[in-house]
């Protein structure tokens, strides 16, 4: 959904803010529920509720909030079916709520050591206009 979180001190406009928010959860660092939206009435701005799903692509259906976390943890990443040790650690820490900001690669165990790979380039095996492999003979 379209969320506009207005935190005191971050938005002091006297203009009204348009927003649609539905089926959201917000927690503090201790896991306690917190208000997702507050109005900055000091400066005269108001939150104006918009109808559901304005600026919404046709055919896009949101997941209910109760399903989002598990969906993201299961499906996030370039290859969720083939996660390396770093990806697995990130998902494990997210599930446990123990993740933290990593300020350098050393905080995460350093750069991985990759095995060297080599293969002789055969231009006949490639369509060089599209840079895609040609079908193997008989394939």
Q: What is the pLDDT of residues 85-135, one digit of tens each?
A: 888 988 999 889 888 888 888 888 888 888 899 989 999 999 999 989 998
Is residue 29 scored above 90 in pLDDT? no
pLDDT for the residue 27: 82
What pLDDT, on the 0 to 100 scale, is given for residue 125?
92
- Asked whether residue 8 carries a pLDDT value surpassing 80, the answer given is no
pLDDT at position 97 is 83
pLDDT of amino acid 133: 92
The pLDDT of 42-56, averaged and rounded, is 72
36 phi and psi, to 5 degrees? -80, -35
Identify the pLDDT of residue 113.
Answer: 86
E-only strand ranges, 1-139: 17-19, 47-49, 126-127, 132-133
Rounded CA separation 83/73 (Å)? 12
Question: When comparing pLDDT for 29 and 79, which is higher?
Answer: 79
pLDDT at 71: 93
Residue 126's pLDDT is 92
pLDDT at 4 over 60: no
- Beta bridge partners of residue 132, listed in sequence order: 127
Average pLDDT over every residue of 14-38: 77
């Amino acid at each position: 959904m379209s969320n506009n979180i207005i935190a005191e001190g971050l938005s002091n406009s006297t203009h009204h803010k348009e927003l649609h928010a539905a089926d959201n959860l917000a927690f503090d660092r201790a896991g306690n529920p917190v208000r997702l939206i507050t109005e900055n009435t000091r400066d005269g701005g108001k939150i104006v509720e918009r109808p559901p799903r304005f600026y919404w692509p046709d055919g896009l259906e949101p997941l209910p909030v109760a399903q989002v976390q598990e969906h993201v943890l299961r499906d996030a990443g370039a290859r969720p079916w083939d996660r390396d040790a770093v990806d697995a650690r990130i998902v494990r820490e997210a599930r446990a709520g123990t993740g933290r900001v990593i300020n350098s690669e050393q905080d995460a165990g350093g750069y991985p050591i990759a095995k060297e790979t080599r293969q002789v380039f055969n231009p006949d095996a490639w369509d060089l206009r599209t840079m895609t492999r040609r079908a193997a003979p008989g394939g």
